[in-house]
Amino acid sequence: MREVVGRVLKLNPARIDPRKPLGSLGLTSLMALELRNRLEPLHGQPLSATLAWNYPTIEALTGFLAGAHAAAPAPAAAPVAAPAAGPAPELAAALDDVNQLSDEDAALLLRQRR
């Protein structure tokens, strides 16, 4: 797993702490999709486009892919508090549209943005 993550993040795999959140190592949304794309053939099944965000460490990813966390994703590294008043109506509508996308549609839209 460190080798795959190291290739995606362009880091020396030996220097990656398996408990450190991938986002803190520089993982971006496009890198997360690349990671998912590299892991799918190794796993033998389709994986969610949100895989790296649902399982934010190498330790969590490995546990999930090994079947140890099949029921629920690992908790996020640091919960983000929602704004007290909620998002602006335009933002709320846009977020609702994004939440309705399938993983495949979201990945397609991200590829088109390149």
CA dihedral 63, 76, 50, 6 (to 10 degrees): -60
Query: Comparing 1-10, 18-27, 68-77, which segment has the lowest mean pLDDT?
Result: 68-77
pLDDT tens figures, 14-66: 999 999 999 999 999 999 999 999 999 988 889 999 999 999 999 999 999 88
Are 11 and 31 in contact by the 8 Å Cβ rule? The answer is no
Are 54 and 73 in contact by the 8 Å Cβ rule? The answer is yes
Domain boundaries, the chain: 2-80, 83-114
Which runs of E-coded beta strand occur in the chain? none
- Euclidean distance between CA atoms 54 and 12, whole angstroms: 23
Domain 2-80, CATH: 1.10.1200.10
